[in-house]
């Protein structure tokens, strides 16, 4: 039974996802799934930040830029007509490898664009390079200085997107084609595929959760916690803090970019506001409101708040309500709203007493293992 | 116009904008020194100052309107500390910073609903939009002199206050070592309130003098907070005079960029330079790296 314990939250997530879909089907309000799918993608970004801020203790006010880096790379490559510059001798080869696909456009002309899968790979590479370029020197910065550097980076990206005609300036890019995945899956916002896209987004979030959960409970996760608590001490223990910080930064940027790519295919376009400081700050705020080093709390909080604001539940007071909720959550429950709730639930269930808050599950056996390593 | 005149013109416009950034950057610094928190609602103080002065300007003479606006915003600043931050002393810095962001959103929305989304402005303090003075070949509006003069006077006054008055010394003691300050009989809580009040008053004054030139708008606070933050970081946190230099530098960078690149990219140049400076000097231009110890404190 105890072995099944870690699976319980994941099973609950799956059950809840299915229940929500059934609920919308029964009440005939499947249109709600569209915004839910979008908030699932946003939750991916916030999860990346949760790893970076909660576990590694680094702040990033520039994650909107990584989301946009992924989204815009995909959008530009899949909508730009390359038939006038087919790439010389490479062109035929690329076309044979299905990197370039030709299809008729709105006016019946044949256009040559990059296939979505290739654009996805390109988007990942672009983000990888960007995150390394900004992450490497930013490692030297701490606290508020790091916040400034990432905020500045985000602003630079958003202003460049706004100022350049390749990226559609203030209009952004529209008409991004759907992305056909294997097994008949299609990433697109059309209503016949709404349900499958919802499940696809759920799967992505679930996958990210499994990966992150395993990561934070591994050796790497404990190293990150050490970096968060006291960097100098972590260094003294032999943890390569610089390498860990850079890797975590890049990983969370990549998560944001994955979300950006899927989001762009799903909504069929992307605008410069996605890279703006407001979005980036919102992601950070959501991660903080979810309890920072609390994967489930962050997922839940960001899903609910983003969904409500995408549905326009607060009308013209959207920002005000968002700000108020933020202040309430952070001042009343700094560990996230789900933690006190979870503690109360745990008290209701009789049986094994829970580990004390703050204690790391499995710290003891980790110490044992390193001890035996030393002996060997 | 000759190239040197043009350069002077850009420099002056950069310094004018930069002086407002400097005011915001000082505000960041005062509160940071007292509490360790970066107050992102700093830009809203500037907006509120301008808005209140404009609203009062319909009934009373401009100097009275400005004075009342500054006092009102200072009281709002003190209230923020008393109502919000005093109660949340156990929260982490990051949480408090995010609360200031939340507060800034709330103040902005409140301003939108109290006033509206229209752009408004105070009348020019002397002359009008078309009056201009010739200084060394550059044409400047008399309001520029008002802005520079007001900011210079308040910066000097602040410096004198911090350096020589009892209250100012107490504030500096709090920022350098809160526990020792408390043992010396300084009421730390009140010093924090005072730092919020001072920052708010300074911001509001800046908002009033700049209002005739750049107009006052409910959304102006966010970008100002970002630029002020940039100025404070560029100078190095913890030193109000370095913040002045940082703020002015950000303004001049922006103006210099407009003369070379399309206007859409003016922030880009400023932030690229800031990033480069930070990568070379991680604690800002005038900041000192703080030593870090391994022991728990």
Of A4-8, B88-92, B194-198, highest mean pLDDT: B194-198
3-state helix, strand, coil in chain B (%, to 5): 75, 5, 25
Q: Give the distance from residue A129's alpha carbon to the nearest chain B alpha carbon, in angstroms.
A: 17
Instruction: Report the alpha-carbon distance of residue A289 to residue A294 in Å, rounded.
Output: 10
- Indicate the pLDDT class of residue B113, thresholds 50, 70 and 90: confident
Question: In A, which residues are within 8 Å of B226 by CB distance?
Answer: 151, 155, 277
**Which of B98, B234, B286 is the best substitution to test chain A (most A C-beta atoms within 10 A)?**
B98
User: Rounded to an integer, what distance in angstroms lies between the CA atom of residue B111 and that of residue B1?
Assistant: 42
> DSSP state, B159?
H
Distance from CA of B262 to the nearest CA of A (A): 9
Beta bridge partners of A174: A269
Contact B268 A163 (CB under 8 A): yes
Provide the CB-side half-sphere exposure for A269 (13 A, CA). 11
* Nearest Cα to Cα of residue A241 among A14, A3, A58: A58
Q: How close B286 gets to chain A, by Cα (Å)?
A: 13
Contacts of B296 in chain A (CB under 8 A): 230
Does B31 touch chain A if contact means CB atoms closer than 8 Å? no
Q: How far is A233 from chain B (nearest CA, A)?
A: 5
Distance from CA of B146 to the nearest CA of A (A): 31
The pTM assigned to this predicted structure is 0.81
Contact A288 B95 (CB under 8 A): yes
| Torsion angle, alpha carbons of A122, A126, A127, A131, to 10 | 150
Considering only CB atoms, which chain B residues are within 8 Å of A156?
267-268, 271-272, 275
Helices (H), A187-294: 194-216, 219-229, 231-236, 241-267, 277-289
Confidence of residue B33 (pLDDT cuts 50, 70, 90): confident
**Section B97-109 average pLDDT:** 87
**Exposure letters B70-109 (e unless 16+ CB within 10 A, then b):** bebbbebbbebbeebbeebeebeebbbbbbbbbbbbbbbb
Q: Give CA separation, A117 vs A73, A103, A126, in Å.
A: 12, 16, 14
Chain A residues closer than 8 Å to B275 by CB: 137, 149, 152-153, 156
For residue B37, give the nearest of B100, B82, B108, B103 by alpha carbon. B100
Residue with tokens 């022991």: B295
C-beta atoms of A288 and B94 within 8 A: yes
Q: Considering only CB atoms, which chain A residues are within 8 Å of B284? A: 145
Q: Are A177 and A238 in contact (CB under 8 A)?
A: no
Best B28, B39, B101 member to test A by mutation, with max A CBs in 10 Å, is: B101
Q: Choose the closest CB to B294 out of A151, A155, A233.
A: A233
Alpha-carbon gap, residue A292 to A284, rounded angstroms: 9
Task: Select from B105, B266, B283 the residue whose CB has the most chain A CBs within 10 Å, as the one to mutate to test that interface.
Answer: B105
pLDDT in tens, B115-165: 887 888 888 877 776 777 777 777 778 888 888 888 889 889 988 988 899
* A320:B95 CB<8 A: no
- How far apart CA B63 and CA A180 sit, in angstroms, is 66
Give the angle A359-A361-A362 at the CA atoms, nearest 5°. Answer: 120
Share the mean pLDDT of chain B.
84
B89 inside 8 A of chain A by CB = no
Nearest one of A275, A298, A276, A304 to A286, comparing CA atoms = A298
Write out chain A's pLDDT in tens, 376 residues. 567 777 888 888 888 888 888 888 888 777 788 888 888 999 999 999 888 888 888 888 888 999 999 999 888 888 877 666 655 666 666 666 666 776 666 666 667 777 788 888 889 999 999 999 888 887 777 777 888 888 888 888 888 888 777 777 777 787 777 777 777 777 777 777 788 888 888 989 999 998 988 888 888 888 888 888 787 888 888 888 888 888 889 999 999 999 999 999 888 888 888 888 888 888 888 888 887 778 888 888 888 888 888 777 777 777 788 888 888 888 877 777 766 776 776 676 655 444 444 444 433 333 333 333 333 3
Angle between helices A277-289 and A318-332 (to 10 degrees): 40
* Chain A closest-CA separation from residue B187 CA (Å): 24
Contact B227, A278 (CB under 8 A): no
Q: Is B260's Cβ below 8 Å from some Cβ in A?
A: no
Which string of DSSP letters, residue by residue, matches A214-235? HHHTSHHHHHHHHHHH-HHHHH
Contacts 24+ apart (CB under 8 A), B145-149: B146/B209, B147/B16, B147/B19, B147/B20, B147/B209, B147/B210, B147/B213, B148/B15, B148/B16, B148/B19
CB pairs under 8 A between A and B: 120
- CA dist., res. B248 & res. A63, Å (int): 28
Contact (CB<8Å) B109/A142: no
Q: Is B129 on the interface with A (CB under 8 A)?
A: no
| Mean pLDDT on B74-82 | 92
Is B25 touching A (CB cutoff 8 A)? no
Contact across the interface for B274 and A285, Cβ inside 8 Å = no
Whole-complex ipTM: 0.79
Contact indicator for A51, A208 with CB cutoff of 8 Å:
no
- On whether any CB of chain A is under 8 Å from the CB of B103, the answer is yes
B105/chain A closest Cα distance in angstroms: 6
b or e along A123-143 (b: 16 or more beta carbons within 10 Å of the residue's beta carbon)?
A: bbebbeebbeebbeebbbbbb
**B278–A230 CB contact, under 8 Å:** no
């Amino acid at each position: 039974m105890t072995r099944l314990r870690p699976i319980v939250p994941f099973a609950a997530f799956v059950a809840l996802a299915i229940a929500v879909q059934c609920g919308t089907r029964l009440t005939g309000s499947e249109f709600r799934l569209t915004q839910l799918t979008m908030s699932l993608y946003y939750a991916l970004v916030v999860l990346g930040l949760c790893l970076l801020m909660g576990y590694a203790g680094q702040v990033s006010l520039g994650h909107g830029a990584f989301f946009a880096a992924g989204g815009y790379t995909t959008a530009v490559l899949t909508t730009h007509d390359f038939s006038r510059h087919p790439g010389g001798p490479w062109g035929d080869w690329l076309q044979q490898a299905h990197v370039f696909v030709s299809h008729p456009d709105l006016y019946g002309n044949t256009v040559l664009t990059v296939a979505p899968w290739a654009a996805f790979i390109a988007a990942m590479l672009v983000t990888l390079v960007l995150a390394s370029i900004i992450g490497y020197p930013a490692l030297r910065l701490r606290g508020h200085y790091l916040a400034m550097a990432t905020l500045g980076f985000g602003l630079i990206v958003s202003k460049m997107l706004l100022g350049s005609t390749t990226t559609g300036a203030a209009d952004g890019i529209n008409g991004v084609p759907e992305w056909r995945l294997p097994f008949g899956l299609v990433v697109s916002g059309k209503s016949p595929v709404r349900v499958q896209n919802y499940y696809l987004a759920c799967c992505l979030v679930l996958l990210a959760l499994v990966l992150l959960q395993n990561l934070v409970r591994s050796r790497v996760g404990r190293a990150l916690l050490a970096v968060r608590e006291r960097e100098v001490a972590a260094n003294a223990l032999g943890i390569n803090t610089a390498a860990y910080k850079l890797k975590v930064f890049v990983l969370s940027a990549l998560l944001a970019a994955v979300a950006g790519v899927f989001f762009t295919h799903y909504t069929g376009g992307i605008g410069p506001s996605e890279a703006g400081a407001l979005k980036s700050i919102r992601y950070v705020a959501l991660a903080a409101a979810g309890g920072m080093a609390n994967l489930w709390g962050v997922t839940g909080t960001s899903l609910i708040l983003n969904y409500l604001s995408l549905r326009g539940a607060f009308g013209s007071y959207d920002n005000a309500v968002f700000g108020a909720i933020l202040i309430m959550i952070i001042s009343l429950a700094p560990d996230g709203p789900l933690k006190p709730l979870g503690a109360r639930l745990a008290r209701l269930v009789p049986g094994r007493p829970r580990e004390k808050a703050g204690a790391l599950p499995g710290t003891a056996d980790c110490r044992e293992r390193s001890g035996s390593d030393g002996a060997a | 116009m000759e190239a040197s005149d043009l350069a002077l013109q850009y420099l002056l416009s950069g310094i004018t904008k930069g002086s407002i950034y400097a005011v915001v950057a000082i505000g960041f610094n005062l509160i940071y020194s007292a509490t360790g928190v970066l107050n992102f609602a700093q830009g809203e103080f500037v907006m509120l100052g301008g808005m209140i002065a404009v609203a009062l300007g319909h009934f009373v003479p401009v100097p009275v309107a400005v004075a009342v606006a500054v006092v009102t915003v200072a009281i709002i600043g003190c209230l923020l500390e008393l109502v919000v931050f005093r109660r949340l002393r156990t929260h982490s810095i990051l949480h408090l910073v995010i609360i200031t962001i939340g507060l800034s959103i709330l103040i902005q929305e409140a301003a939108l609903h109290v006033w509206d989304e229209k752009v408004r402005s105070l009348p020019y303090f002397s002359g009008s939009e078309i009056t201009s003075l010739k200084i060394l070949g550059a044409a400047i509006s008399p309001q520029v002199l008002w802005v520079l003069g007001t900011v210079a006077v308040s910066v000097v006054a602040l410096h004198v206050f911090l350096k020589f008055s009892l209250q100012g010394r107490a504030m500096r003691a709090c920022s350098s070592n809160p526990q020792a300050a408390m043992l010396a009989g300084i009421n730390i809580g009140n010093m924090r309130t005072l730092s919020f009040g001072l920052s708010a008053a300074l911001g509001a004054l800046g908002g009033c003098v700049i209002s005739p030139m750049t107009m006052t708008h409910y959304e102006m606070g966010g970008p100002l907070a970002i630029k002020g933050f940039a100025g404070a970081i560029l100078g190095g946190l913890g030193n109000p005079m370095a913040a002045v230099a940082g703020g002015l530098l950000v303004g001049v960078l922006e103006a210099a960029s407009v003369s070379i690149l399309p206007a859409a990219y003016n922030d880009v140049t400023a932030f690229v330079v800031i990033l480069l400076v930070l990568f070379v000097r991680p604690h800002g231009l005038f900041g000192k790296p703080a030593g870090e110890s391994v022991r728990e404190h």
